[in-house]
């Protein structure tokens, strides 16, 4: 996860810019009196966010694989609730938690 997102996770009101993240020229600029957050705290939050991100992979996979709402409504109309549930279950089974 990026530095700016980690900072906002620590301080949602933070005003900050991050240039050239991940390079030797990386620079964090704090704006409008935002209190600086230590690099260690930022890195700890980045690790925490990455874990949460990785744990939610199945959600992203499912979100991209579900049929469109229009197709799901059509499925409901033609196949009823059980047919629709079977369609959805196929995606859930393909991308388990």
Residues 6 or more apart whose CB falls under 8 angstroms from that of 75 comprise: 67, 83, 84, 87
For 58, phi then psi, to 5°, come to: -60, -35
14 binds another protein (CB under 8 A): yes
7 binds another protein (CB under 8 A): yes
Task: Identify which of residues 34 and 76 has a Cβ nearer to another protein in the complex.
Answer: 34
Segment contacting another protein (CB under 8 A): 18-26, 40-48, 71-79, 85-93? 18-26
33 binds another protein (CB under 8 A): no
Rounded to whole angstroms, how far apart are CA atoms 20 and 4? 12
Residue for token pair 């020229």: 25
Residues that bind another protein (CB under 8 A): 2-5, 7-8, 12, 14-23, 25, 29, 31-32, 53-54
């Amino acid at each position: 996860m990026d530095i700016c997102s980690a900072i906002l996770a620590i301080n949602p009101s933070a005003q900050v810019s991050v240039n050239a993240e991940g390079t030797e020229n990386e620079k964090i600029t704090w704006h409008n009196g935002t209190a600086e957050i230590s690099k260690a705290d930022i890195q700890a939050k980045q690790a925490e966010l990455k874990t949460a991100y990785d744990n939610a992979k199945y959600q992203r996979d499912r979100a991209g694989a579900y049929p469109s709402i229009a197709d799901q409504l059509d499925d409901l109309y033609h196949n009823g609730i059980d047919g629709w549930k079977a369609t959805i279950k196929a995606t859930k089974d393909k991308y388990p938690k």
